[in-house]
A and B are shown apart, each in its own frame.
Chain A
Amino acid sequence: EPEVTQTPSHQVTQMGQEVILRCVPISNHLYFYWYRQILGQKVEFLVSFYNNEISEKSEIFDDQFSVERPDGSNFTLKIRSTKLEDSAMYFCASSDDSQLVDTQYFGPGTRLTVL
């Protein structure tokens, strides 16, 4: 069964450092998403990406965040200067059609800890 994969599973970084979280979406999917879930809180939408550009983003996705699809398989989330409050689980998701919610698959997440 196809699945979304994410690396690393756990990333520990110092405040102010840059981190890059990596995702490999399902191969024939065209739409890509990042979400975050702060411990004990709800899953929050960050950004959606289609055709090599951001299609929608939330208020959380400010200038310190960026996304990129550097090659045909990876989808990355970069946080330029991490803050303590960026500590969270970050989930990548992909779908083959933005209108069909049952095609959106989530990865297992990357736990980011900012010290």
Chain B
Amino acid sequence: QKEVEQDPGPLSVPEGAIVSLNCTYSNSAFQYFMWYRQYSRKGPELLMYTYSSGNKEDGRFTAQVDKSSKYISLFIRDSQPSDSATYLCAMSVGNQFYFGTGTSLTVIP
């Protein structure tokens, strides 16, 4: 059973573009919805998390959750070359985390 689905990309955008990353899920029991950034040869680093449906903004990043559609998104405004990384969505129920495959993003200067 594929709990979390994420388009692996790769995604390539010019600097300054708005980036949209998405995941869908099947388990309605998920409680937390997270976005992680992973650089090559590094562990995942938490960017943002949300608990409920709606939007959450942090600087250039906006996380959006739609529980009715079982769909989450991460928007990156004014993308920078330093945003180039793999972005993983993840969801949790209890102590168990379920990750998407990750989307590889390259921001071209």
Contacts and interface: CB of A to CB of B under 8 A. Distances in A.
Partners in one complex: yes
Interface of A: 4, 31, 33, 35, 41-45, 48, 55-56, 58, 91, 93, 98, 101-102, 104-109
A90 B100 CA distance: 16
Nearest to B41: A108
B44 A101 contact: no
Range of interface residues on B (Cβ < 8 Å): 20 to 34
A106 B39 CA distance: 12
Interface string B6-48: 1000000000000000000000000010100000011111100
Nearest to A106: B43
A-side interface mostly: strand
Interface of B: 4, 6, 32, 34, 41-46, 49, 88, 90, 92, 94-102
24 contacts: A4-B43, A33-B95, A42-B6, A45-B96, A45-B97, A45-B99, A48-B95, A55-B95, A56-B94, A56-B95, A56-B96, A58-B96, A91-B43, A91-B44, A93-B43, A98-B94, A101-B46, A101-B49, A102-B46, A105-B46, A106-B43, A106-B44, A108-B42, A109-B41
A101 B34 contact: yes
Contacts of A109: 41-43
Q: Which 7 A-B pairs have the closest CB atoms?
A: A106-B43, A43-B99, A48-B95, A42-B101, A56-B95, A42-B99, A101-B32
B74 to A, nearest CB: 15
A92 B75 CA distance: 28
A8 to B, nearest CB: 13
